[in-house]
Chains A and B, each alone.
Chain A
Amino acid sequence: MEHVIECKNLTHYYGNNLVLNDLNLKVERGRIFGILGKNGTGKTTTINILMGFLRPTRGKCLVFGEESHNLSPATRQKIGLLHEGHLAYDFMTIKQVEHFYSQFFPGWKADYYWDLIGKLGLSDNHKIRNMSCGQRSQVVLGLIFAQDPELLILDDYSMGLDPGYRALFIDYLQEYVHEKNKTVFLTSHIIQDVEKVVDDTIIMGYQKLLLKMPLETLKENFHRFEFRNPRAIGVVKSDDDMISNVEYVNDKITIYSFKPLKEIVAYLKKLGISADDIKEIPMTLEEAFIGLTGKY
């Protein structure tokens, strides 16, 4: 399978602070990847490396087969990039920014842009600097759609957006991406939105990749179990193979694991812990994310 993005042994330090440690990932064409992680786990660093704004300390990233720190203009033409904070030329008006960008892309689809802008009900001469964050997000998304890129990289697209604009953004993105078979690599802090749109999830922990798998696989195979037993407190511990994470609230024990209930019960039994009332509690992606990464 052809990989649009491929990162090999990606390692990056800020001074002595290790942010990315031997990260390996591949993004297949036509898939929507959601990259999730707490603050400081290296999501934006990864995107900065992918877009050539940062040179990794070690390892490399290939985008459309080219080294990310040396992307040719032709390759950049195939990538629609949404910068954190919906960065835009705010000294331009709605009309000016469209005119400016249209000259760089031979396959410019102005209709996509004007369709999204039409929803804002603003004059074409409205300056971007006088827009709310939500309005600006529509302008930026419209510019990316009009560019008709093969790959969309969206860095924290939900930042600063209220629920209405987030929903609008996701609706348009879903429709556009599925209709045109695009590859998307996105990061966001709003996991319930990511859940609606992504095919694959990458969850980053501090200095390591916690998992990379299709969302459906994660939903089917990652479990949350709860039971009550004061004797289990401090005895059941997270273990990479069996238990991904464990939480205690009073005598309630919550276990997160990729193993089925039967295996967990057997494991607890081996530890000498009875869990007669153990039951599986369904999870949203957000709960699974917290389960994997912990609350702290």
Chain B
Amino acid sequence: MLKAILYKEWIKLRWGLLVIAGLTVLSLAYSIGMINYYIEFQGAFSNWMYVIGKSLLLKNIVFVKILPLITGLAFALLQFVPEMAGNRMRLSYHLPISEKRLLLSSVGIGFMFLLAEILFLFFGLWLVVSINYPAEVVQKALMSTLPWFLGGSAIYFLISFIILEPSWTYRIIYGIVAYGLTDLYFRASTYDQYQTLWAFILIVAVMPLTVMYSGHRFRRGIK
């Protein structure tokens, strides 16, 4: 049954996966261009200050920052809007599989695809930065991007939670909360702040429960 759900989610997400993978390649190419620009035009000393002193190597590359956000948003929309349009989610709820298993496997599969895209970007960035900088710089530069990747995951769960919610009033309230929460991930500077990072990871880890909650409300016919 998990195989069948994987098949359905794949049908919904495959074009999104391809487009996001294309955008990731473009973002990496852009990052290479930006890094070369910093090195060429800032001079060695300024670049060193920029990279080490302010840890800004990747923080100003806006494509890298927003790509996880776009991916999380797109995957949630692609997965759950077709299910909710015309109450199609009822088809899924009538399948001979428990409600919990259905919802958890749906978001689990979506999250796995999201993770694949995020890891693709992450390792791409690692390669791009490793060409020109020592290991310490690479580590710090990538560390500074982790909240965005976690933010992409958070937005995926939060948007899924909102889409599955049957009441528009609740959706608006959840939307405001989701905006505030996601904003934290994209404003945060976790350069060497492991505690913040762990808090962010913990929040993402409990988010599938919110999807279960709104999915359960839909199942019970709550308006």
Contacts and interface: CB of A to CB of B under 8 A. Distances in A.
A54 B86 contact: no
Interface string A86-97: 011111100010
Contacts of B98: 73
A274 interface: no
Given A55-B220, A55-B221, A87-B86, A105 B96 contact: yes
Contacts of A99: 7
A69 interface: yes
Contacts of B8: 89, 92, 100
B97 A53 contact: no
A76 B219 contact: no
A53 B219 contact: yes
B97 A83 contact: no
B12 A91 contact: yes
Interface stretch (B37-45, B54-62, B87-95, B136-144): B87-95
Given A53-B90, A73-B96, A87-B90, A96 B221 contact: no
Contacts of B88: 87-90
Interface string A119-160: 000000000000000000000000000000000000000000
Given A87-B90, A92-B11, A74 B96 contact: yes
A194 B68 CA distance: 54
B1 interface: yes
Nearest to B101: A73
A81 interface: yes
Nearest to B12: A91
**Majority DSSP secondary structure for residues of B touching A:** helix
Interface string B1-41: 10110011001100000000000000000000000000000
A48 interface: yes
Contacts of B87: 83, 87
A132 B151 CA distance: 42
A49 B95 CA distance: 16
Interface in B65-109: 82, 86-88, 90-91, 93-98
A77 interface: yes
A85 B90 CA distance: 12
A104 interface: yes
A250 B43 CA distance: 102
A196 to B, nearest CB: 27
A104 B102 CA distance: 12
Given A73-B96, A104-B96, A104-B97, A87 B4 contact: no
Contacts of A76: 94-96
- Top 6 nearest A-B pairs (CB, nearest first) are A103-B4, A54-B221, A77-B96, A73-B96, A76-B96, A53-B221
